[in-house]
A and B are shown apart, each in its own frame.
Chain A
Amino acid sequence: MRLKLSGELIKGETIGRVESLSGQDLGACYQCGKCSAGCPVVEEMDIVPSEAIRYLQLGQPDIVLNSKTIWICASCLQCASRCPKGVEFSSICDALRAIVLRKRVSTPKVDADELSRLMVSDAPQMGVVGALRKLNG
């Protein structure tokens, strides 16, 4: 697979949207990978956090927007806490999810039928509220 790069792609509209929605400077990431190294759920991700930023730096947002990665993030903030450049991947994840969810075309991540089962079980309501807000928008 060849990635054809151009200024247009790198400064593309979606990339700009990710930066402004997340408030993060993608250029600040120097790809050290500490975020990926410390992420508690990294092993389930198809694209690890540092790779996700790399794809964005290369102007390839679709790969990341279509990934499993952004729906697995637990917003634990460990990545943001340890990043030597102050890049908050957790915010980038929120922004990427927001871009997908605001299009209102995909199916919700948390199933509504499942939801009633959870509500009657013993799951703490904060977990349900949190999941719905982060993953269903």
Chain B
Amino acid sequence: MKIPYYPGCTLHERAKDFDTSARECARALGIELEELPIWTCCGAVFPLVTDSVMEILAPVRNLSYASRIGDKVVTLCSFCYHVLKRANHVMREDPEKREKANLFLRADTKAREAVESYTIEDYVGQVDVVHYIEMLRDVVGFDALGQKVKNPLKGLKVAPYYGCMLLRPKAEMKFDDPEQPTIFEDFLGSIGCDVVDFPMKTECCGGFQIVNDEELAVACSQNVVTSALKRGADVIVTTCPLCRYNLDKKQEEMAERVRGFRKIPVIYFTQLLGIALGLPEKHLDFSGNYVDPRPVLAEKVSL
């Protein structure tokens, strides 16, 4: 089966490992992630001021492109998911902004140049934004997923890091309970991991502040990483390239701040899924990891 897929700018390039592992896992599960024929960066952040229409044009346009090939669009990056879903909500609920945004969409000539038989159509929220893990839960089913596991991960202690953008605001994201979420735990349990619950799993990693005030963001990430370490995790999984960067690469800084700091690998949940499904290492692509996950993976499970 084919599902429209929006990778987002970072997965396209800096987080190619996330994109690769996700596509290969989907393929192994009988799903082809059909990349949108044309797309741009979603803008990375959702504007919180009330007079924004320009600021949501990028995600709206991407949704509009998605509507050409289906009624759903799957994404992986937490920020993309957040921005697309919230922009979608505006298009569904705010008639004034919907009309203004469509004025711009109607004038979009680039799309017409890029995609054959592209027609002008208003976007009114006809696409559902789905996160890859929701697709695993609802299209594949966690039980069915469990059946497909070739490489049980029993003995590997995995800490699921949710971060912020998937869960909040609860009313719009409708992803899981923002305080005690369980979807990642359910997923990890279904592929045989030992799930590690840690109190900082829904606390911010510092996000984009890593660019403005590095020390501030490192402190946030350190809080998250040390919490997972304290609970005995072997590896942290995430679904956001920015979170992965802050939690993984910045362990270099954390090691300088904290004496005896034990580094812990931070991988994408799709890479873990790939291991469980028995995919070859080249499809998992650990080249982007600062803290190499291979030693602990080799020790606990067969890579």
List A residues at the B interface (Cβ < 8 Å): 20-23, 40-41, 44, 71-72, 74-78, 80-81, 88, 90-91, 93-95, 98, 109-110, 118, 122-135
Q: Which of B212, B217, B219 has the most CB of A within 10 A?
A: B212
Of A44, A81, A94, which one neighbours B170 at CB under 8 angstroms?
A81
> For the complex, is B146 an interface residue (Cβ under 8 Å from A)?
no
Contacts of A94 in B (CB 8 A): 47-49
Question: Which 3 pairs show the lowest CB-CB distances between chains A and B?
Answer: A130-B208, A76-B204, A94-B48
Complex: A81 Cα to B210 Cα, angstroms: 23
Assess the A80–B169 pair: CB atoms within 8 A.
yes
Stretch from B8-16, B149-157, B180-188 contacting the other chain: B8-16
Verify A74–B217 contact, CB threshold 8 A.
Answer: yes
- A72–B216 Cα distance when bound, in Å, is 8
- Decide if B50 touches A127 in the complex (CB within 8 Å): no
Q: Are B204 and A130 in contact (CB under 8 A)?
A: no
Nearest residue, chain A, Cβ from B173: A77
Contact (Cβ within 8 A) B220 A41: yes
- The answer to whether A133 and B216 have CB atoms under 8 Å apart is no
The reply to whether B204 and A78 form a contact with Cβ atoms under 8 Å apart is yes
State the main secondary structure of chain B at its contact with A: loop
Collect the chain A residues with CB atoms within 8 Å of residue B245's CB: 122-124, 127
Chain B residues with Cβ below 8 Å from A80 are 168-169
**Assembled-state Cα–Cα distance A88/B50 (Å):** 12
Check B168 against A78 for contact (C-beta < 8 Å).
yes
Chain A residue at minimum C-beta to C-beta distance from B203: A40
Query: Assuming A40-B204, A95-B48, A122-B249, is B14 touching A72 (CB within 8 A)?
Result: no
- Report chain A residues within 8 Å CB of B49: 21-23, 91, 94-95, 98
Minimum Cβ distance to chain A for residue B175 (Å): 12
Given contacts A80-B169, A124-B15, A125-B10, contact A22 B45 (CB under 8 A): no
Please state if A20 and B50 are interface contacts (CB–CB under 8 Å): yes
Other than A41-B216, A77-B168, give 18 A-B pairs with Cβ distance below 8 A: A40-B204, A40-B220, A41-B220, A44-B213, A71-B212, A74-B220, A75-B45, A94-B49, A95-B49, A98-B49, A118-B211, A125-B13, A126-B9, A126-B79, A127-B207, A130-B207, A130-B211, A133-B47
CB distance from B44 to the nearest CB of A (A): 4
Q: Is the CB of B223 within 8 A of A40?
A: yes
CB of B220 to closest CB in A, whole Å: 5
Instruction: Report Cα–Cα, A64/B146, bound state, in Å.
Output: 52
B20 to chain A, nearest CB (A): 16
Indicate if B160 sits at the interface (CB-CB under 8 A).
no
Q: How far is the CA of A88 from the CA of B49 in the complex (A)?
A: 11
Are A131 and B208 neighbours in the complex by a CB distance under 8 Å? yes
Q: Closest residue of chain A to B221, judged by CB?
A: A40
Pairwise interchain contact B170-A134, C-beta atoms closer than 8 A: no
Q: Would you give the shortest CB distance from B166 to chain A, in whole angstroms?
A: 11
B37 to chain A, nearest CB (A): 21
Is there an interface contact between B51 and A77, defined as CB atoms closer than 8 Å?
no
User: Quick check: is B209 within 8 A (CB to CB) of the other chain?
Assistant: yes
Partner of B242, one of A41, A88, A127, A133: A127
Closest to A115 in B: B211
Q: A126 vs B244: C-alpha distance in the bound complex, in angstroms? A: 12
